[in-house]
Amino acid sequence: MSAVAALKGYLSRRFDEELRFIRVRQESPNVGAILPSGNVMARKMASVVDPSSGLPVLEIGPGTGVMTRAILERGIPPERLFLIELSTTFACRLRVDFPGVNVIQGDAFELSRTLGEYSGITFDCVISGLPLLSFPVEKRIALIEGLLDRLPPGRPVVQFSYQPFSPVPPGGGDYKVEVFRYVLRNIPPAKTWLYRRPWQVAKAAALAAAAAA
Ligand SMILES: C[S@@+](CC[C@H](N)C(=O)[O-])C[C@H]1O[C@@H](n2cnc3c(N)ncnc32)[C@H](O)[C@@H]1O
């Protein structure tokens, strides 16, 4: 084999995930980013997962699965992880790369319909890689509300963005917006956000205390 062919082979193996991402991006306007997220950002996003909760985790917009891998590395068994991915190309490959993980091909904005028989599940948290800014603000707010309705009191939806502002505006609904982490070691650098209903924690504690009295 020539040195050029060997180098080509090495590069396509080394950058396989990036190349697959770019290929789907060329076909689909819904991908958003120029490259898959880096491992540093994926691990930061996955750090919100609480494996001890025993609850399943929902990831939306997994793409090539960089965050999926980080979530599994937190100790979540594959059967407790649910992915919603719009692209059929990504969804098919995710099924191959992550056996046992529940891959649902569909639109995360049509949450109840897309989750189908799993619509009533309570998840521990949601990891979102959706390109939210490509969608109308009302849809973003409705999505966050629908996701938070499926989490225990106070648990978060985590989302990244390349802009300095939250892709879901504060004050738009029943949720609080917090900056989670700045991630400079990513192309491009990103900011991550938490959406939660922290006031539900006190409410749930008061209800439990009243029930016990
Ligand atoms: C910015 S990429 C992020 C991919 C991956 N999470 C990462 O960080 O590398 C956005 C992903 O969201 C998916 N996506 C876009 N719109 C979607 C929708 N309405 N429902 C589900 N997935 C969607 C795209 O196909 C793509 O995989």
**Distance, first Cα to last Cα, the chain:** 78
Share of the chain above pLDDT 90, in %: 75
Q: Whose CA is closest to 191, among 156, 172, 163, 149?
A: 163
Residue nearest to atom 11 of ligand 1 (CA): 61
Tell how strand 126-128 and strand 157-161 pair up.
Answer: parallel
pLDDT band at residue 207 using 50, 70 and 90 as cut-offs: confident
pLDDT in tens, 71-101: 999 999 999 999 999 999 999 999 999 999 9
User: What is the average per-residue pLDDT within 101-106?
Assistant: 98
The confidence score (pLDDT) of residue 11 equals: 66
**Cα 28 to Cα 35: distance, rounded to the nearest angstrom:** 14
The confidence score (pLDDT) of residue 25 equals: 80
Amino acid (1-letter code) at residue 209: A
DSSP single-letter state for residue 34: S
Range of the domain at 90: 3-212
| Tokens, residue 75 | 């100790």
Question: Which atom of ligand 1 lies closest to the CA of 109?
Answer: 19
Residue nearest to atom 14 of ligand 1 (CA): 61
pLDDT in tens, 136-195: 999 999 999 999 999 999 999 999 999 999 999 999 999 999 999 999 999 999 999 999
- The tally of domains found in the chain comes to 1
The confidence score (pLDDT) of residue 65 equals: 97
**Cα 120 to Cα 25: distance, rounded to the nearest angstrom:** 32
CATH at residue 90: 3.40.50.150
Q: Is the pLDDT of residue 1 over 80?
A: no
Q: Is the pLDDT of residue 35 over 90?
A: no
- Contact residues of ligand 1, CB 6 A cut-off: 30-33, 36-37, 60-63, 66-67, 84-87, 90, 107-109, 129-131
The confidence score (pLDDT) of residue 50 equals: 97
Is 0.85 surpassed by the pTM of this model?
Answer: yes
pLDDT band at residue 20 using 50, 70 and 90 as cut-offs: confident
Tell how strand 190-196 and strand 176-183 pair up.
Answer: antiparallel
**Cα 105 to Cα 109: distance, rounded to the nearest angstrom:** 12
Q: Whose CA is closest to 28, among 83, 88, 92, 109?
A: 88
Residue nearest to atom 16 of ligand 1 (CA): 30
